[in-house]
Chains A and B, each alone.
Chain A
């Protein structure tokens, strides 16, 4: 496989193609939309979703080669492309991947066709625009994972914002206006501070011609910041990423956005966009500001926020009447695990954090898809409106149960692997935080199983629910890959762990290397 791919020069063109293909799709959809002025809604819907599925499938298929074409034994960038963009400002189109990025890219490309299938019948208004935005969003998300130039990274980072804003705001629920604006403003506040920080860094790092340098590697090698600058810069990145993660207390946009977004929006938001924040920490904040990360106050504050998020998210999930909101708050909890894993600064916890990232993408994505399917049938997401539907929707009940169990980290599913690694790694450096975080295994069971009970178990007492139709083949088919992934990653995560090991080790070494003084005495197996 590797040989065949390299004979095609796969690594040379794949990343750029992955970025451009969705844009091409979006253009195609725009042309289609302009050409289908008088067609009825059904025709529009089917033409739009077919085109979108075609592009997303193509994207998924060609991206698969990354699984083999990348050498995971090294932490160096691969499949790199460097083209001057605005060289006089030091901005280059500089992309490449490492083991961490590849996995997130694959998560994205593989999940997107499923979201199209998940929106197959639910997007009736302006379907072309919807799928075009979804495609553009994909480019933005992939770009974030690929960018090796801080300015480019920022552009992709912001690129995601508008499509998601529109997806929530146009195709969303009742309070979509509020939710979409809140989403936008939260994210933008964070990212603009990061913009200033990026500029500061880029302007401080000057190349021999006196131009600013935004190249990530270059900055890593040469950057050093006077006095408290490192802390301020870290702070700016922190806010940007913490909002996206979202960390407590920057999380309140999330429940609103999730609840109001259409299914595809929720899935993308939860499965991929939330990963941006943690990815940002791993890729940028940690290696670039080891001094700040090792600063005892900073580090313990982040850990405290992460732990608060973990427990708080779970507790607040417990009392939600709306299932989507419950899942949204559970995301706060899960992503808290990721943050704990990252800032515990051990190989196990960091790799665990990466696993949680991917697992959360799969499980929460599946949960949102399932909620969407339920909503399409019943037009309600309120837990109290259901009950006993396992009798009328047995397949749905089975799938929901599996996904819910994965979400609460039952061993054998993917959820366990990530949480366990995070906690076992975190315990060696942050035992108190890890122990507090571990209590969530209880709360997670409470909120998820209680919701499960009230939805699929208990008496089927509401007449509206008695006529619900079970999932059809399309719906089952689109969920099966996710279910398979849940078990695959739960039972045999070694391929993933091996693929992230080199990078994770390098990051940890870099962070510790800068601060032997502060980390002395800490046991790091």
Chain B
């Protein structure tokens, strides 16, 4: 079917899954508020949230398989959107499943926590669908505001509050740049429609238009903040550390994926021709992110913080795919997002189960000799870490994710071979900290009198098993995932639809 986005109900139809999720979230918000905080209630709301997510997924799958398209408009109805949606929804479901069990341990009994994830996810889905900078802005804010709250969920923890404050202040600050960027792009092109911007850059030869370029620069700042690219990354470690573990996982995987989804769409559909301006900055952003992230991660003694830096690093790798600026880059991103989401949630499932009640942080040394007491947990965690490292077979899909990104970077007409080399060299540094954890688990003795880590709760265990299983499976049979990513990649914006008859912009 083809939605005509000019017709309101058809626009609603095109937003079907998003609406299902939002309506479900609103209903559940009411349900959550209905009863006083209790473990049973949050569990119920959590399970219901997962149900909503599953329903949304089903709808996404239905839309995706029915081959729905839409007329040009403010939202996209394409494979990229559905593919990205699936990643967000998987992340959300995993975060909620872990959260159901780990939140009470952190004395978070608010049932709203799960609902907020639904809201954030709705924001992401909107982001993925956005074909207008206005929608981009809305999506970013819907997502961000929910996540600000999620970070500060643990009212009893000063760390949680501090993380929330930092994220909020800096997030809002960066929103200012993003918004200003949108304004300048709008001023230069006269439109906020993403494909139209691309079109007008051609038709009006705006490649060297300074207002446009400054606008793009400001947009880039906003995006770079969201994907935690160096030097706009400084919030990330603190916030990841302060946030409750499932939220950290959610931020590392889904929020980052959403930010990249929008990044790719805007860059490929709007600014593809401006690479003369953005290639060098993104190149340096990617390089700095890989180098700084990896190097600083080496010095970390806390698992969550280490994983936070790891998440920054992966942002750097994906920036290489952005720099490629090709549809293949977006395909690589989709593949990467799946592998990375699985690995991240697997890892955080372990971290959450290892975190002692009332503590946010688990030191790496807490994992000493884990193998001797919990061999499978240690093996599972190692596989996730190796996936993050991008190691073949043992790291499963993580290797092919990196392979795909490298492939995208190296086939790009933009000659990114040096960046690819930098990527692999910094990967070696990353082995230093990923393997450090593997090493403490397997090669150090369990300290005398170390407390037994509690048995994995069922949902967490399910998440871990599913993630590890999929990582390994996709590491041997990545075919389907690769095809899926390639089919759902973005296409460089075709000049389509009636061009709005607007006079050429007169620059001030």
* Residues of A bordering B, CB below 8 Å: 85-89, 129, 151, 154-155, 158-159, 161-162, 165-166, 169-170, 176-177, 180-181, 184-185, 188-189, 192-193, 195-196, 199-200, 203, 212
Contacts and interface: CB of A to CB of B under 8 A. Distances in A.
- List of 4 A-B pairs having minimum Cβ-Cβ separation, nearest first: A192-B424, A169-B443, A155-B392, A189-B428
B431 A88 contact: no
Interface stretch (B23-31, B62-70, B134-142, B406-414): B406-414
Secondary structure at chain A's binding surface: helix, strand, loop or mixed? helix
Interface in B371-408: 375, 386, 391-394, 399-400, 403-404, 406-407
Contacts of B403: 89, 151, 195, 199
Contact of A199 (B406, B443, B444): B406
Given A189-B428, A193-B421, A170 B406 contact: no
A166 B379 CA distance: 12
Contact of A155 (B393, B425, B436, B442): B393
Contact of A162 (B375, B386, B428, B432): B386
B420 interface: yes
Contacts of A189: 425, 428
A154 B439 contact: no
Given A181-B436, A195-B406, A203-B407, 8 more contacts: A85-B479, A88-B482, A88-B483, A89-B482, A162-B386, A177-B443, A185-B432, A200-B410
Instruction: Indicate the member of A86, A88, A192 with the most B CB atoms within 10 Å.
Output: A192
Contacts of A192: 424-425, 427-428
Interface in B449-472: none
A188 B428 contact: yes
Nearest to B475: A155
B410 A199 contact: yes
11 contacts: A86-B479, A88-B482, A88-B486, A129-B375, A155-B393, A158-B391, A181-B435, A185-B431, A188-B428, A196-B421, A203-B407
A151 B428 CA distance: 19
A169 B378 CA distance: 15
Secondary structure at chain B's binding surface: helix, strand, loop or mixed? helix
B36 to A, nearest CB: 44
Given A196-B420, A199-B410, A170 B442 contact: yes
B40 interface: no
A188 B431 contact: yes
B417 interface: yes
B72 interface: no
Contacts of A184: 431, 435
A212 B432 CA distance: 32
Contacts of A181: 432, 435-436, 439
B478 interface: yes
Contact of B439 (A155, A177, A200): A177
A176 B443 contact: yes
Nearest to B424: A192
A36 to B, nearest CB: 12
B397 to A, nearest CB: 12
Contacts of B442: 166, 169-170
Contacts of B486: 88
Contacts of A162: 386, 391, 394
Contacts of B432: 181, 185
Contacts of B400: 86
Contacts of B407: 89, 199, 203, 212
A155 B392 CA distance: 6
A158 B393 contact: yes
B441 to A, nearest CB: 10
A196 B417 contact: yes
A86 B484 CA distance: 13
B434 to A, nearest CB: 10
Nearest to A155: B392
Contacts of B406: 195-196, 199
